[in-house]
Amino acid sequence: MIHIAHATEYLQSFNFEDTWDAATQYQDGDVVTYGGYTYVSKSLHTNKIPAYNLASDWDIITTGFNVVGTWNNSTDYINSIGFDFIEEHEKILISRMNERLSELDWVDLHGPTSNKGSIFSFSLRNEIHPHDVSSILDQKGIAIRTGTHCAQPLMDFLGLKASCRASLAIYNTVEEIDKFIEGLISCKKIFNL
């Protein structure tokens, strides 16, 4: 819900002229493009935004239109099941995930295990690359996210090149958490952890 609200506020407050003016200021440097988005490497030590021809290549507003189109459906769905149910369901899932992950001494959790939301960032010991973990889980029908998660300064601080991230929501079940843990145990066997 929060992400949808922020996206909508963002779209409502968007000023195309200001964006064009800002984009024309950044013409020099290197940029790597992934999936139609401009990727900018950020660190705690520099505020430099490397870019090339951003004025003509920005497509930042395009991706937000799907949010506006689904706003009513999303709010109708959330209202039909109720915030209390969502909160209680997520508490059950978070508790189960914390319980099961605590059994795995070869999994490093990044972030607190209490008073947290339903996003779990982690790494496997011995520097097993998150993309390898993701590929193995994907073969078992389990989807996680991997990479820097738009948090490069945090990754640098933690000494990580990337991490894995499992997210839980209203559509997940306790059984899926158990399947996820079984998938991690498969990774342990494959990598001899």
Which residues are tagged catalytic?
150
Burial of 1 (0-12, 13-18, 19+ CB in 10 A): exposed
Strand partners, 128: 124
Question: What span, in angstroms and rounded, lies between the C-alpha atoms of 115 and 129?
Answer: 28
Backbone angles phi, psi at 121, to 5 degrees: -95, 135
Which contacts (CB < 8 Å, 24+ apart) does range 69-75 have?
A: 70/4, 71/4, 71/8, 74/1, 74/4
Residue type, 150: C
Backbone angles phi, psi at 129, to 5 degrees: -70, 135
Comparing CA positions, the residue from 110, 130, 131 lying closest to residue 122 is 110
Contacts of 170 (CB under 8 A, 6+ apart): 81, 86, 89, 90
Comparing CA positions, the residue from 148, 143, 119 lying closest to residue 39 is 148
